[in-house]
Amino acid sequence: MAESFLQISEPGASPTKRACQTRAIGIDLGTTNSLVAIVDGGRPVCLRDADDQAILPSVVHYAADGTIVVGAEAHDRLAPEFPRDTVASVKRFMGRGPRDAEATRKLTPYQFAPPAGDGNVVRFAVAGGRAVTAMEVSAEILKVLKARAEAELGAPLDGAVITVPAYFDDGQRQATRDAGRLAGLEVLRLLNEPTAAAIAYGLDKQAEGTFAVFDLGGGTFDISILKLEDGVFEVKATGGDSALGGDDFDRAIADALLERWGLGDAAAHDAKLVRRVLDGARAVKERLTTEAEVSIDLALPDGRRTAKLTRTEMELLVEPVLMRCAGPVRRALKDAAIEPAALSGVILVGGATRMPLVRQFVEKMFNRPPLGDIDPDEVVALGAAVQADVLAGGAGQGDMLLLDVVPLSLGLETMGGVVEKIIHRNTTVPCGATQTFTTFADKQTGFDLHVVQGERELADQGRSLARFTLKGIPPMPAGMARLEVTFTVDADGILRVSAREETTGQETKIEVKPSYGLTDEEVEKMLLDSFAHAEEDVKIRLLTEQRVEADRIAAAARAAMADTPELLTPEDKAAIDGALAALATVRDGTDHLAIRAAVEALDVASKEFAGRRMNIAFERGLRGKDVDAVEKKADETAPKRDLASRAGSHAGHSH
């Protein structure tokens, strides 16, 4: 066999027992459990720990002495004892702010730290006086999985694909990406969980046809309709609820138990009580999957409490939560323009789909029993590993291709807070779309553009992704300026927005930075904080980050010089060339501070040049027409005046 060949390792890499073409990994970063998988000899497999467990409980404990414990021990032993210092279900906080529902919930074991900086990120107050963000907590889970893969494959890794719920918005995706960076992973792609499941299932069973993937995990619900044909996995429609899952079942059961025991008020300020009742509720729910009735006997802080619960009683408690899945299922089927009878099968993913009630619900919604021959825990990680292998250049899956969609519509806020959708949900990525806007007020000289994601009609009901301002429109009557706004979404789901003033044909481009992302400085600071006890690691990571930054800046500078040589004075050119050369000499060294200094020097050297480029772009892009032309146009376009009402009411720059 070819094993002897495959065992020849690359220089610098330790020998490996695996027959892998690439060292790319797939990670299922779940609300309750996380897994890592690789493609080995053409087949995806989940990697196991020393105890032969593939599943890593997504629980992170922060001890007072700075030690961090992740996984089963944190879940089984430390969470009951130190509920505030042991974060579970952190995924529900990803990309969420301190004012979001998740952080203002009454029944929570956590204490939140006052927001830092711009206050957009939730922080947990844990032992040792530390405050950690959801990204940092997730990064601890990722680090354990990364180490497991490195031990198996021989470092370094080629990169990782991390799965996210299909219904995650841009902010939640950005937070997941940041967590990957914090863990020192090169994130090749964020892959939607139901899509990952379909890949693993489709490749394993050689399945063809249109399938529904019903994915009910610990904290999120996704429904996707996919067409599988000749190795092409085409997502037809996706929907869901990024705050609906098994945790909500536990909470409904816990609420009922607390009420039965008269502890409803006590739970509001007793973290241990909340943790134990939530854990008890989860155990009850799991036992009632196979049993008809269970006795509960919980050791609570103020003594033992007992109760009996039948499966029927439990189902009555969780049914209202489960019913919230119905709307997204109906909508996805409608968006995919398919009747349940035309489906080839329904694939179940996520631990919560083990509940008999959930299976009955799925059977009723789709008019058929779901497929039961896959492991709902491992299937997502397996699919992620396949996609990671493809992206890293592995030939194992040959012609496999994934066509995914935008999960939530992307639009701009217009007059009266109404959202004008520019890219509709379930559009295949990559994609682009253009919409024309105009001024709302006479002599308006600027546009405030507010990029929003979501299906609601009003901006304050959707998720705000970014705000930016375009200035410098010459004063003219309302409705005269014509701004063409283009949205582009690449294969990674990253949105870019550009605006073009039609009369001059010049462009201004803005890359949308989601409000919930972290800046590079924040990431660096977190890296420093989290690795305070492992200086060597910090250095290596900082060095890598800094080299990436150096390459990015140098490439940008060269591209700008090639693009607009006419804006470059001989002095500028000499200064920039000098700075580039200086950067090149330190780039491959080991001193990240030297690289950083060289990057900053380049920044200074190119400042004037960059400023001129910016000015020219804005001036050209937004220069108006002369008055005669404007008045002539006014007659021609009179019937189109209704457009004015679609351009921002936030005529904040009208003078």
Partner 1 sequence: MICWSCEKEGGKGPLCASCKAVLPPDAANDRFAVLGLPRKFEIDLGAAEAAYKELSRQLHPDRFAKADPRARKAALGRTVEINDAWRTVKDPVKRAQYLLELAGFGLAGDDRQTEDELRKTKQVAAPPTFLMEILELREELGEAQRAGDAVKVAFMAEEMRARAAETMKTLGAALGAGKFEEGARTLVALRYYQRFLEEVAAHEERTASGGGHG
Binding site for partner 1 (CB under 8 A): 188, 229-230, 232, 234, 327, 330-331, 334, 390-393, 399, 401-403, 427-432, 434-436, 456-458, 461, 482, 484, 488, 490-491, 502, 633, 636-637, 639-640, 642-643, 646
Among residues 54, 86, 64, the alpha carbon closest in space to that of 73 is found at: 86
Catalytic residue among 28, 169, 248, 420: 28
Give the count of alpha carbons within 13 A of 172, CB side only. 25
Q: Maximum distance among all alpha carbons in the chain?
A: 86
Alpha carbons 609 and 605: distance in angstroms, whole number: 8
From the candidates 40, 85, 91, 170, give the one annotated as an active-site residue.
Answer: 91
User: Distance between CA 239 and CA 328 in Å, rounded?
Assistant: 5
Instruction: Identify whether 28 is a catalytic site residue.
Output: yes
**Residue 215 annotated in active site:** yes
Closest CB 17 distance from partner 1, rounded Å: 26
Token output for 448:
């405030």
Which residue's CB is nearer to partner 1, number 20 or number 391? 391
Using CA atoms in the order 314, 318, 323, 325, what is the torsion angle rounded to 10 degrees?
-120
Residues forming beta bridges with residue 243, ordered by sequence position:
none
Task: For 585, list phi and psi in degrees, rounded to 5.
Answer: -75, -35
Closest to partner 1 by CB, 458 vs 604, is 458
Strands, E assignment, 127-200 = 130-133, 159-164, 187-192
Q: Minimum Å distance from CB 202 to partner 1?
A: 15
Distances from the Cα of 473 to the Cα of 11, 444, 512, angstroms: 59, 7, 21
User: Is 591 designated active site?
Assistant: no
Following DSSP, what letter does each residue of 484-549 receive, concatenated? EEEEEE-TT--EEEEEEETTTTEEEEEE---TTS--HHHHHHHHHHHTTT-HHHHHHHHHHHHHHH
For partner 1, which is the closer residue by CB, 42 or 430? 430
Cβ proximity to partner 1: between 73 and 502 the closer is 502
* Residue in 102, 140, 193, 572 annotated catalytic: 193
| Contact between 86 and 68 (Cβ < 8 Å) | no
For partner 1, which is the closer residue by CB, 74 or 386? Answer: 386
Closest approach of Cβ 331 to partner 1, in Å?
7
Question: Is there a contact between 156 and 45 (Cβ–Cβ < 8 Å)?
Answer: no
Angle at 178 between CA 174 and CA 184, to 5 degrees: 150
**End-to-end CA separation in angstroms for the chain:** 78
**Residue 645 Cβ, how far from partner 1 at the closest point, in Å?**
11
Closest contact distance (angstroms) between CB of 431 and partner 1 is 5
Contact status, residue 170 vs residue 463, Cβ threshold 8 Å: yes
Q: Quick one: which of 537, 463, 470 has its CA closest to 506?
A: 470
Report the residue number, 309 or 386, with the smaller CB distance to partner 1. 386
Catalytic residue among 169, 215, 279, 378: 215
| Residue 127: CB minimum distance to partner 1, A | 41
Closest CA to 174 of 215, 213, 133: 133
Q: CB nearer to partner 1: give 39 or 278.
A: 39
Residue 574: phi, psi to the nearest 5? -60, -45
Residue closer to partner 1 (CB basis): 86 or 438: 438
Cβ-contact 329, 239 below 8 angstroms: yes
Residue 572 known to be catalytic: no
| Residues 6+ away with beta carbon under 8 Å from 35 | 27, 28, 46, 54, 55, 56, 145, 377, 378, 380, 381
Residue placing its CB nearer to partner 1 in the complex, 401 or 534: 401
Distances (CA, A) of 306 to 255, 258, 283, 421: 15, 11, 14, 53
Shortest reach from residue 637's CB to partner 1, in Å: 6
Task: Provide the minimum distance between the beta carbon of 505 and partner 1 in the complex, in angstroms, as a whole number.
Answer: 10
Residue 397 beta carbon to partner 1: minimum distance, rounded to whole angstroms: 11
How do beta strands 345-349 and 209-216 pair?
parallel
Residues designated catalytic: 28, 91, 193, 215
